[in-house]
């Protein structure tokens, strides 16, 4: 496994966004399954469900339920086919790494907890690349020696 994505990459892959073409191009060029964590899968699913709820409250916000369900179905299909796989993660080690990252970088750069956990997971898994479109997360990953793409 060489790369680990964050939620911004998954969103660009599974929903039409400005970054979708770049995400799709990178994903299609990969020679191995895209590895995610259970936490990332849950965050993506929860976010899609929340976006559908938000849209139901105010049609100017979020995404329609059908679009959210389509994104979730695509994710599940990729998991079932093996194009996407959930890594086995030692969460105690990830939390130890995350605590170090938080103590080292958050005061200066304002990183969110879930972003720190994604970078910590990438480091724990020993990947070379973090796939993200989030500028602040790019800074954190780069500071820790990860290549950031796409």
| pLDDT one digit per residue (tens) for the chain, 150 residues | 899 999 999 999 999 999 999 999 999 999 999 999 999 999 999 999 999 999 999 999 999 999 999 999 999 999 999 999 999 999 999 999 999 999 999 999 999 999 999 999 999 999 999 999 999 999 999 999 999 999
Q: What is the pTM of this model?
A: 0.94
C-alpha distance from residue 50 to each of 43, 68, 107, 133, 148 (Å): 10, 9, 29, 21, 28
Rounded-to-integer distance, Cα 8 and Cα 51, Å: 14
The pair of structure tokens assigned to 55 is: 């849209």
> String of b and e for 3-40 (b: at least 16 CB within 10 Å)?
bbbbbbbbbbbbbeeebeebbeebbeeeeeebbbbebb
Question: Hey, what's the torsion of the CAs at 89, 139, 10, 3, to 10 degrees?
Answer: -50
The DSSP letter of residue 24 is H
Backbone angles phi, psi at 98, to 5 degrees: -60, -40
Q: Which helix (H) or strand (E) holds 41?
A: helix 38-57
Which residue segments constitute the domains of the chain, with CATH numbers given? 3-149 (3.40.50.1010)
């Amino acid at each position: 496994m060489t790369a680990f994505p964050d939620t911004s990459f998954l969103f660009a892959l599974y929903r039409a966004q400005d970054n979708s073409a770049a995400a799709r191009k990178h994903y299609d060029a990969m020679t191995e399954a895209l590895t995610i964590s259970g936490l990332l899968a849950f965050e993506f699913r929860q976010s899609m469900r929340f976006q559908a709820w938000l849209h139901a409250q105010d049609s100017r916000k979020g995404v329609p339920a059908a679009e959210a369900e389509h994104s979730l179905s695509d994710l599940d299909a990729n998991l079932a086919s093996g194009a996407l796989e959930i890594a086995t993660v030692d969460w105690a080690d990830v939390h130890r790494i995350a605590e170090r990252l938080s103590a080292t970088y958050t005061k200066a750069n304002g990183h969110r907890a879930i972003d720190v956990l994604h970078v910590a997971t990438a480091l724990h898994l020993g990947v070379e690349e973090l796939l993200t479109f989030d500028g602040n997360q790019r800074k954190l990953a780069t500071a820790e020696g990860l290549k950031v793409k796409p």
